[in-house]
Structure 1
Amino acid sequence: MKKVSFAEFGGPEVLRLIDAEEPHAGPGRIRIAVRAAGVNPVDWRLREGQVLGAHPVVLPAGVGQDAAGVVDEVGEGVDGVAVGDRVFGEGTATYAEFAVLSAWALMPGGLTFEEAAGYPSVVETALRIIREVGVRPGETLLVGGAAGGVGSAVLQIARDRGIAVIGTASAANQDYLRGLGALATTYGEGWVERVRRLGRVDAALDLAGSGVIRELVELTGDPRRVVSIADLDAPALGVRFSGVAGSVPDALAEAAALITRGRLHIPVEKSYPLAEAAAAHTDSQSGHTRGRRVMIP
């Protein structure tokens, strides 16, 4: 089978499309014929060797953790899913023609494989950081870097829970944020005052890692009410850095329920063939994403 791999840490140029042996579903796992794989910042952070403490990597390594596809092997002890089912979930080395998943859910009706591949990690992350920042119904949550996949999920989940949201993004993404129910403003010079004019901020999330932790603490008045998923230096300012996943099966179940109720939709901005994995990582690292990027075997 074809698979994206890297044999050394470094930039996008270390990614290679190789011929590899097919993986197989062990106990408690399923294998899918991958139809689409989500591109996440953790993919290129691991490729660069940034977060090895939380995510150990043995080289050479595959790339990717999110995927959607058709079940073609069911491991021992697995119930509730059968060969031929359409599923989305998390696993390992998902930039490939076949991948083994450790957590999955049946795809809600009406989703394409490309759309479904964009949900697993971002919804788990969104649910986790909303919980960790402690924001409650009736409060206002500021989301920095709100137009990407996690931001898109956070805005919609928060609104579904009765939480008001303010989002920062590029000028080109202002209407996109407003369409998700957020008050929107641009980042850049003067952004703190622009946020203040939009209203009180009770809690804040840093999704972009653009060096705004001090300002987020200033706006909330409490470092305990700020969480970052992108700034590794956040703990030095008393702010939680959230990088360890919670229950992925629970997150997938909630994602499926929200999608079915019409309360969550994350668009796919761009799809790439496996041979263009380096371009996908370059684009992901540049930011300014609206929704998700996915790989297509």
Structure 2
Amino acid sequence: MNAVVLHEYGGPDKLKYESYPDPVAGKGEVLVRVAASSVNPIDYKMRSGEAKARFPLVLPAIIGRDISGIVREVGEGVTGFAPGDRVMALTVKAYAELVVVKATDLAHVPEHLDLIEAAALPLVALTGEQLITRGTKIQSGQTVLVTGAVGGVGRSAVWTAKKAGAIVIAGVRKSQVKDAATLGADTVLPLDDATAMEKLGFVDAVADTVGGETAAKLLGKVKQGGVFASVLGPPSYANMHPTVRIEPVQAVPDSKTLHTMAKDVLAGKLKIPIDRMVSLSEAGKAHAAAEKGGIGKILLLA
């Protein structure tokens, strides 16, 4: 097969499209012919070496977390999947034409949902959902502020919190307020507006996807006994707020939830914007573009 291989940490140019041995499905595993993967911030942090303390790589390595595709073979003991099935997953080694996935991590792509576009969902949908359900554990009637609300993770968190019956504040930059108005949140808050931040009252929880100074400021807006959940680790000055529970969240595969979120996307209840689709062979260019920022995801077509 062909794959995007990283031989050394560094810039986007370190991603090399080349021939690589085909993976083989073992017991409890499924071999998937990849239709598409997608670029996530963790991908370029792993590529550059920024994330090697948390996610060390054995080089040469294949990175990538999202896949959608067609089942080619099933391993011993696998039930519920057969060759030809349309599937998606949060997995590893995704920048390749073939990927082996644990059957328990694999989800069927809902009928009528575009197979290519399904590749945009696994990491962001599951991270956003788990940021709420495993991180904030927000309850109906409570108030949660979601930072980075127009991003894929933020959108998924806003939708999950609304499904739970929470009062949701979508935290965004001033330039994103118009985009955020379509998210279904109860209120939109420009986090880079000092006056608006000063007027913000106490909240039951913060679901953070941006970190930095914004996270540190919002920590002081959480009620005593409240929760600050983040995908970026504890904010600075966390020890200055001993009455706030800090909950770091790192997404784990959950095929049932992924399938449910995909059905929400199909029904138009949740939207994960897609910026562009490029060939897997252009992963380096895709990384360079993604690192410049933007709202939409970049898909890699295998």
Normalised by the length of structure 1, the TM-score is 0.88
Matched residue SS, 1:27 = coil
Aligned to 2:188: 184
How far does the alpha carbon of each residue in 1:222-247 deviate from its partner, in whole angstroms, 9 at most, with x for none?
A: 585112213x5627624746353345
Question: Hey, what does 1:29 align to over in structure 2?
Answer: 29
Q: Distance in 1 between matches of 2:36 and 2:211?
A: 27
1:97–1:127 CA distance, 2 compared to 1 (3 A) = same
Deviations 1:257-291 (A, max 9, x none): 5346553332322222223212322333333324x
Paired AA for residue 255 in structure 1: M
**Once structures 1 and 2 are overlaid, which stretch shifts more, 278-287 or 234-243?**
234-243
Q: Which residue of 2 aligns with 1:42?
A: 42
Aligned residue identity for 1:271: M
Q: CA RMSD in A?
A: 2.4
Match of 2:222 in 1: 220
Q: Which amino acid aligns with 2:115?
A: F
Q: Give aligned-pair identity as a percent.
A: 32
- The number of residues matched between the two structures is 293
What residue is the counterpart of 2:74 in the other structure?
74
Correspondence for 1:251: 257
Distance 1:233 1:139, change over 3 A: closer
The separation in 2 between residues aligned to 1:104 and 1:44, in whole angstroms, is 24
- Quote the offset at 1:64 in angstroms: 0.6
| Aligned counterparts of 1:133 and 1:233: Cα–Cα separation in 2 | 14
Structure 2 SS opposite 1:62: coil
What does residue 242 of structure 2 align with? Answer: none
Residue pair 2:142, 2:166 contacting (<8 A) in 1 also: yes
Of 156, 160, 177, 2:159 maps to 156
Structure 1 Cα separation of the partners of residues 275 and 222 of structure 2: 32
Match of 2:284 in 1: 278
Query: Within 5 Å, which residues of 2 pair with 1:1-297?
Result: 1-102=1-102, 103-131=105-133, 132-182=135-185, 183-190=187-194, 193-195=195-197, 197=199, 200-222=202-224, 225-230=227-232, 232=233, 234=235, 237-238=238-239, 240=246, 242-259=248-265, 262-290=268-296, 292-297=297-302
**Is the Cα–Cα contact under 8 Å of residues 31 and 73 in structure 2 kept in the other structure?**
yes
| Equivalent pair of 2:69/2:86 in contact (CA under 8 Å) | yes
Shifted more, 276-285 versus 235-244: the winner is 235-244
In 2, are the aligned partners of 1:147 and 1:288 still within 8 Å (CA)? no
Q: Secondary structure at the match of 2:162?
A: helix
Q: For residues 251 and 52 of structure 2, what CA distance do their matches in structure 1 show?
A: 15
